[in-house]
Amino acid sequence: MLTFNALLAAYDRSLHDTVALASTTDDLSRPTPCDGWDLADLFGHMVGQNLGFAAAVADGDAPVTSYASVAVSAENLSQRWQDSATRVRDAFAAADPETTIHLAEFGFRPTVTVALGMQLLDAAVHAWDVATTLGITYRPNEETVAHVHDMARQIASSPSGTPVFATPLPTSGDDHWNDALRLLGRDPARPLNA
């Protein structure tokens, strides 16, 4: 299990990777691996999640509306993403890792460390979503892969299902990153427009 500081460093890398990816396109109408979402929808969701988690971590709680998707355009995407990423990263960096917070969107009261682990999974998987949309191969470092794989297995085996991810797909056991993606309902072998 990664320490808080290691989680924060890995999270920072995933956020930075997405900043770099966001700067490579101005076509936000491209379909993504997230069913029914184009890049504008995906980035809007990601910005909203960053802002919601930043508020919850900084204040101990935040209303569900704090996590709402934010409208993005080709003109403001890089700035909105960078601003939201800075806010959430700074909120985690300033927080006591053992403080319990309320994540209203999930009805869950984790420690800041657990919330950071959740956000690392989300950031790494969504970086893959964006990269795949743009035809770019993306794989985080092996520490992040191991963390995401462990969390994805827990999510997929939860009796309550995966309300925030698609239905898990069968795994091969050959590669932890590809298996993690499959456990979260993504098929790395399927062409995006298939």
Residue 45, domain CATH: 1.20.120.450
Q: Which domain, by its residues, includes 9?
A: 4-183
- CA–CA gap between residue 19 and residue 182 (Å, rounded): 24
Q: 1 falls in which pLDDT band (50, 70, 90)?
A: confident
pLDDT digits (tens, 9 = 90+) for 112-141: 999 999 999 999 999 999 999 999 999 999
Cα dihedral sign, 121-122-123-124: positive
Q: Does residue 191 lie within any of the structural domains? A: no
81 closest CA partner among 23, 6, 28:
23
Q: Does residue 194 lie within any of the structural domains? A: no
Q: Which two tokens stand for residue 186?
A: 């993504």
- β-bridge mates for residue 103, sequence order: 108
Q: Are 53 and 115 in contact (CB under 8 A)?
A: yes
Q: Does residue 189 lie within any of the structural domains? A: no
Q: Does residue 27 lie within any of the structural domains? A: yes
Give the model's pLDDT for residue 194.
41
- CA–CA gap between residue 21 and residue 97 (Å, rounded): 29
Give the model's pLDDT for residue 138.
96
pTM greater than 0.75 (yes/no): yes
Q: Does residue 70 lie within any of the structural domains? A: yes
Q: Does residue 34 lie within any of the structural domains? A: yes
Q: Does residue 192 lie within any of the structural domains? A: no
Number of structural domains (the chain) is 1
Alpha carbons within 13 A on the beta-carbon side of 180? 22
Q: Does residue 86 lie within any of the structural domains? A: yes
